[in-house]
Structure 1
Amino acid sequence: MREKGIEGMGGNVSRRAWLKSAGVSALGLAIGGRLVGQASPDARSRVERYPELKYINLAGNENPFGPSQKVSIAIVREVSNSCRYPFREEEILKERIAEHEGVGVENVLLGNGCDEILSLAGAAYGAPGETVVATRPTYLQLAEYAEKRGAHVEWVDHTESMHHDLEGMLAKVHEKKAVLSYVCNPDTPSGTILPPEKIRDYCVKAAESSSVFLDEVYLELLEDYEEQTQVQLVRDGYPVIIGRSFSKMHGLAGHRIGYAIASKEIVDRMGKLKMSSPSYLGVIAAIASLGDVAFHRQSKRLIAEGRERFCSLLDSYGLEYTPSVGNFVFHHTGIEIREFQRIMKEEHGFLVGRPFPPYEDWCRISIGKVNEMEAYAKAMEAVFG
């Protein structure tokens, strides 16, 4: 499971060399005439300005390089209109998403982040006597809402390589007559991904008797995203729900915009349970970001570079980790996770990932800005050096 160091650096790169290499990376790359490292105040100055925010957050899997300059300009331009409800703007965003995804507007459901989309799916399919199938560990939002509605969640453990056990999940779908199964690809906390042909095969077979929620919120971070996405299954009429978010590649986590792509029947079924709507500026931000290809390309590259550098640091300590393709890395610490959280928070000022049972001595670390990762490398040296 342990990965090798990045090419040209090897698995035995020193911590000092790592810190030096990190310092010459993303800070010099410009997006829209502005340095990426200047997209927002650096972590330490932000803490000085807002003393209550005294911790550096490497727990949320956010994109620290957002929002893009185009988004910032759009927000400033439209802020005076934020006294209005975004009814018309929501329709514009749905039209843009539909065009981007190659589906009809009736196939798009907006949510207050993808969390709401997951909650709606769990609530729409969850009911007493029904079964939902999910892997573990994974993102729990859908399963938790299904349980709240009275459904039973049938858990299928990851494989030893920390990938989805699709064969095991499919067997449970048919055995338990499940109404829905949940697949997060790439997954969290592992960041592992399965080949598109395996995902498609699973969805087609599971769809013979149930619906499938395919969570692709991290997929857009991949360069070959268009070859990996399974949105064609929706176009082909399968009962598949694709979940997406503007929180990752787009760097708009604070604006809470997510969406589902599904058949009109499924969109209507989930939409009837909606209890919120996106904010005006969130919708404006999403519209501006959707076509900002230059920012997307740079953002993906910076995250991948940061992930590779962090993995090389883990190699230097001999720490095992999963082959993540997301904006985070799940690694072994040898320290019980709650104690590791305490050490990093109280002694070093970092918020790190939550527990993911049964991996009680592993931790998920989000890839932050260069200065944040440099500071975290020093904290790691104090703990593991």
Structure 2
Amino acid sequence: MLNIAGGDLIVAPSVELWLAAVAADPEEASRRTDWWRNTNAVMRAVARRIDGHMITSPKRGGTWSVMADDAGVRRRTFAGRLAWAKERGYLLQITEGSTPRYRSGTFRGLLDDGLGNLAAEYLLTIPIDALRTLGLDDEQVEELIREPEPQPMIREPFPAMSQEEWKEAPWPVETLAAREICTPRVSAFSPRESKPLRARDARDTRPRWPSASPPTTKPERLWPNTVTPGKKSDRLEACERLRYEDQTLRGVSAKYLRSLLRPLFAAGATLADAKYVINHRPDGRPWPNTDPPRNLVGWVRHRVSTWFDKETGRLAAPLPSQVIARADRRRRAEQAARAEERARLEARRVDPPAELIGPLRARLQAIAAASRERRKASADQQVPARASRPGTDRLGRRWGSPGAGAGAAIGASGA
């Protein structure tokens, strides 16, 4: 049986060898001294919280807060060193940490699943390439890769009873041989035998959401973009359309997405507002990072939470639909004010007296008749002949008049 945790990693046979492999990492030459000092402190704090299977135990203080305080670093520094160790192959995460508020199936902590706060658990591993950098030859490396075979248990035979001891035994009795196959065999942790590789699925009994699959067909009903979904069924239809149109959100189910967008819909957001909130900040600027998120649930929850004030729980900025509605109300109010002003002016309008309308009308008729007469006289005048273009006289002087040349040619032909 091979002691391979996954790929080219093996379970650390001892803490000393694991710490030596971390200290001999090839990145040591490119890192600063203080960085390696904090890294060694973090790795030693992790190594002090393991059990017999080289796995960090929460009962021994294997939590981030305890280990960070023991190492004398901040939580952010501790998280960065753990990420580096996982990337380099010195730690294999078996169980993810979670709290009832952010755990699936608890409705943001409203339901108690009885598990409390679960700390992340890590398995101490060593890359096979790192074993050769420690100065071990091929035989020693193969010895570490291959697990020792379990030795059979040898029991001494029970001494036979004498005739005197046999007579003193209570009757009736029957001595049966112990069946060793009924006794469970306790073996060490072997990540290769665990199915799947992460022991989290076998050890963690927390309720989980089913893995979401991308929608292959268009939903039967498309929820309108400008309508706020009120009921749970309406919000589910809105989330179905949101998953259909946004490929990034297909990593979670529609029910889970409805739970993440519940505070947004409760604040009166439409489907178009939900799309805008996910892709823009409250000040209107788009989010700079466009790469696929590693944690989709935390990604959506963070972008939605930035639109709410942490102290009051209200919206930190108006939604696009609210801005449009406010501008529409302002426009309608201005139109109503102009209509009232026009009605007020129409009510104050007074017709002029009749004795002034007669002379004014006659004067206007006389002006119109005089204008018609002038237009008619100008139309009857003849239009003057068009002036010759520049250059015509110059051509005549050079080549002669075309009429005179033609007459001379006709006279010569008659003679």
Q: TM-score, normalized by length of structure 2?
A: 0.21
Query: Whose strand proportion is higher, 1 or 2?
Result: 1
- Which one has more relative contact order, counting CA pairs under 8 Å at least 6 apart? 1
Higher-Rg structure is 2
